[in-house]
Structure 1
């Protein structure tokens, strides 16, 4: 289950000659495996677009081949095998596209291999685009999300389902033939076997989904240490309640930034109100658990090993100074917490 939290406050105050791509190495790219065997919530009241499970893989991902200087006829492609179709009308994490897994009711979303960070992955779109003008940056991990695609999940599905996603760049012939030169990364995904559950723990923000911070003066925020305590921080609590069948089991929870978060600074949500509409410039929020900033899209670090019938998680929201060029205006951001049984 998941809950969305909203923070609201007012802050005073010409074409080159055709060529083939250049690559970081002459190898056949990296290859990694990723297996998801989580317990899946099959509750029919959950809407399409609900995150059912999430997992990331690093390791050999850091050896993904990069490319640059591609010619005008070169392409960049993301290809799934077996081929899959886009789920129409359903968006995944960060608004990304969702594709069929072969299990009715369950789709998958995968992150890009040429851009994005651990803190801010970029959803991948299957298919091909021109590679002219594109270049890739080294990445540290690939993330996969399982997304509910319709009202009823086929809980009779047994065994495993395998999907291979390949990232390639080069000429059309190189890409279509899966040549060694064009291969950047291949992710072999194994789904299942799953255990389906009709109920799970629920998580509820104490006092409601909207957290309001007191106003802060521009001079006060400018003088504050970046990421430090401003004196305007607001504590909030998330209450977890579990059915008897879940007591004593292991849960993970993770944080999904619905609005934009910093790709390099942990726990920082950027202002979702544009300066064109009066929003504060270079002001955001930082979310902390204890004295440490939370890590968005970290699916492994936050664990409850022996969940109880009732327990709570405590956090703090505070203003965050992006730079000293900040200007007055309202500040707003949203994130959700996803609770996932292992």
Structure 2
């Protein structure tokens, strides 16, 4: 029987090429330092102060949209999409990257995650015996209700689940490419967004692989196996969590997160629509996995939890922060509020401390 390649390896081979993307993308020009306008003075610290009108626009990409207040940088206000379109194809302000940038450590971490997943799959990817084969009333009840009785029907459900999962894996990548790349020609923001995608999918791959190979829960269909004659013999003891559902919710979470912070469609209604649709498709993926008898309900719930962590929480921890997205907070004269979380270790006499600083 031909060996079925686990979905983790397929996903990693597809997204690992993003690590080479900087070689193909144009280098982003560094923003020039801000300068004072004619009505402002530069003090002994090199900052603009004593401003009659309080706010002025520095030179560079923020011209006309940002400013300084007594030498303190103010974030730019929400952009006007119509004005951006009138600038002859210039990238709209909403597409500029204003959060923590992915760097060398992010690339190394993603690469290590990919390598660790490949090792886990190649060495431990076919557990011979289950550690968890006990059944419970909840999972059995849902299985009896949703499982398709015919083998052909289960195969169709499995293929449909594969298709939906693949769509959600590619959706955040293609979505960013179409908006930030093709439409805006903003290669820097595109690269940063794709690095966020790579980190989340690499985390999902590694976490799901380690959990499945460690828990080694018997899949529902394994009870029908006769020797090696089975619908998917090699993967019969890798039920929790559901890798398909984890990847599906990772993709859906990334779509929701990118649209919440970057406003890729520049339309709040469409941003909410694409987020809700993505979450619905991810939920349908889980339903199809149960119908195909590939997972129990608790496997699907565990996969959904893992995917939501990767798609919603991880990008905020590493890049976006936990402040309200631009345009959703109460805005003052300086524009939208952006929050950040900083953890700093500090050595003390007789011990150590971890200082948590929240800016908003």
Taking structure 2 as the reference length, the TM-score comes to: 0.22
Higher Rg of the two aligned structures: 2
Taking structure 1 as the reference length, the TM-score comes to: 0.23
Structure of higher RCO (CA pairs closer than 8 Å, 6+ residues apart): 1
Q: Which has the higher helix share?
A: 2
